[in-house]
Chain A
């Protein structure tokens, strides 16, 4: 980064400066940056514990400059529950892909949400298993070609994609649920607001908070990074509407969470 760029947009303290292993143009990197900026802005780096899960983001513990625990595939919410129950004053978040959260880990996320477990989930929905080379995920759209739905996902064979936010929104436990997309600058700014809100919800003790981020996997979508962004805009958002489903802080008339709670 140039000096000017660094002054305007300083590199977050909550990110390490190791080189990330993501494919060029992958929005996992964007999501990391936003989370790190929020951690810095809230001033909670030293009491934050990141829970890395299994997927392309498995090395998240190398990138977030906080204490971190690496969890088994899908088990992030259970691991986060154990941590948070020992240190209620810590700030805990899991970082999970759609295979991790909505396939193998569906049980853990639903029960953590139902218990109103007071931590935050950053949920990266890229509609494929990126890490294992582009197989079908529970979020893969009908008709979408993946390495295990080579003729496109059919409902006859594989049923329908799961909308995680809508599903969790049937529960009383969550304090915040929103879906955002990592595409255009306005959408990325909006995503950051929701991520901040999800951490503020935790800091205010208002329970489980999840932000779903529609994210690109140009590598396994067979697109350029730019085409992948358009794919989210033109195709994915129609099936996964961008929306704040739950915001208990707003319902309570609190526009800002107490960053030091």
Chain B
């Protein structure tokens, strides 16, 4: 971390908002929804003071379409919401993927389905990694597990979005949104406008052709070419920005896989490995699209079993199974509706999974 960073004790929501500003966001459109209301509140306070624009949209449908317009006009732009709001944005996201436009989106996931509740959940994993509405497009998805990472990942999401001309989503949850932790803040700075030769805006027609931002491609080959370009971007992203962290035994019997808030619980479980009598290692994706398939696959060759911990009835576990491809058993500890496993629950489950896999549990 560079020395210029200022240390603050702030909530995840505030760290996210300030991360957006540090990443160059000067345009924010959003619609209030718990548990992320502190973000639009923060933006409405700060953006007008630094020459930016905060606008409260009439709905998430409008918000994402304002984002579409602002991105087409060349702005670093962001919207934030929580599960039901992200569901409403799906058509707009698909249009942005079809038009190959960058923007940053944050989902502070809450319990569902339906109006659900405002408690912690990780049940929008499919919406994030498979979603982005109809069609083949995908959101590049970053999964922070601390207030610091919310800040850093949100700032970085702007650079990633422009690099791949693709929506970049920060996927977190109600606890990360609300909890307070120390955070080293990236200093704000003036940034050059992003390089978007395709953006619309006042210009001299002697100097460039007119620009059209569009997602309507009736010609089959042209439409396929959009999809191929997106696939090429995802392949590049997989090679360049796939990110994860590992923690624990170098010779594990059980590999724990978890992202975000679940990884915090698993970290504590790994610290109790000796007491559990099982050697454990945690692999924690920091990006879930692109997904760290390779390291999970490599560990799957060496461990006796994998245990996935997530706050959903089993979404993230599917990507882990695709990575493991039958190399070892994969088990799931999933909770929903705002409930979380305790560290003891995880430790006990690790012992069960290890026993089932033939490990002599100490």
Is the interface on chain A under 10, 10 to 19, 20 to 34, or 35 or more residues? 20 to 34
A83 and B200 in contact, given A69-B213, A72-B91, A72-B92 (Cβ under 8 angstroms): yes
Write the B208-241 contact mask toward A (1 if CB under 8 angstroms, else 0).
0011111110000000000000000000000000
What are 20 A-B contacts defined by CB distance under 8 Å?
A46-B202, A46-B204, A46-B205, A65-B210, A66-B210, A69-B200, A70-B214, A70-B216, A72-B65, A78-B57, A78-B61, A78-B69, A79-B66, A83-B72, A85-B66, A86-B27, A86-B69, A87-B201, A89-B202, A90-B202
Residue of A nearest to B193 (CB): A86
A residues 83-126 touching B (CB-CB < 8 Å): 83-87, 89-90, 107-108, 111
The answer to whether B77 touches A67, judged by C-beta atoms less than 8 angstroms apart, is: no
A75 and B61 in contact, given A67-B203, A68-B200, A69-B214 (Cβ under 8 angstroms): yes
Cα separation A69 to B75 with both chains bound (whole Å) = 14
Cα separation A49 to B205 with both chains bound (whole Å) = 13
Cα separation A75 to B57 with both chains bound (whole Å) = 12
Majority SS at the chain B contact face: mixed
A85 and B92 in contact, given A69-B214, A107-B59 (Cβ under 8 angstroms): no
The answer to whether B210 touches A68, judged by C-beta atoms less than 8 angstroms apart, is: yes
| CB-defined contacts of B215 to chain A, threshold 8 Å | 70
Residue of A nearest to B66 (CB): A82
| CB-defined contacts of B202 to chain A, threshold 8 Å | 46-47, 87, 89-90
| CB-defined contacts of B92 to chain A, threshold 8 Å | 72, 75
Majority SS at the chain A contact face: helix
Cα separation A250 to B305 with both chains bound (whole Å) = 77
The answer to whether A69 touches B69, judged by C-beta atoms less than 8 angstroms apart, is: yes
**Which chain A residues have a beta carbon within 8 Å of chain B's beta carbons?**
45-47, 49, 51, 58-59, 61, 65-72, 75, 78-87, 89-90, 107-108, 111
A66, A67, A79, A89: the one contacting B69 at CB < 8 Å is A79
The answer to whether A75 touches B70, judged by C-beta atoms less than 8 angstroms apart, is: no
| CB-defined contacts of B91 to chain A, threshold 8 Å | 72
Cα separation A85 to B26 with both chains bound (whole Å) = 11
The answer to whether A86 touches B62, judged by C-beta atoms less than 8 angstroms apart, is: no
- Residue B291 lies at the interface, judged by CB distance under 8 Å to chain A: no
- Residue B55 lies at the interface, judged by CB distance under 8 Å to chain A: yes
Closest beta carbon of chain A to B199's beta carbon, Å = 9
Residue of B nearest to A66 (CB): B210
The answer to whether A45 touches B70, judged by C-beta atoms less than 8 angstroms apart, is: no
A67 and B58 in contact, given A82-B67, A86-B70 (Cβ under 8 angstroms): no
B residues 279-312 touching A (CB-CB < 8 Å): none
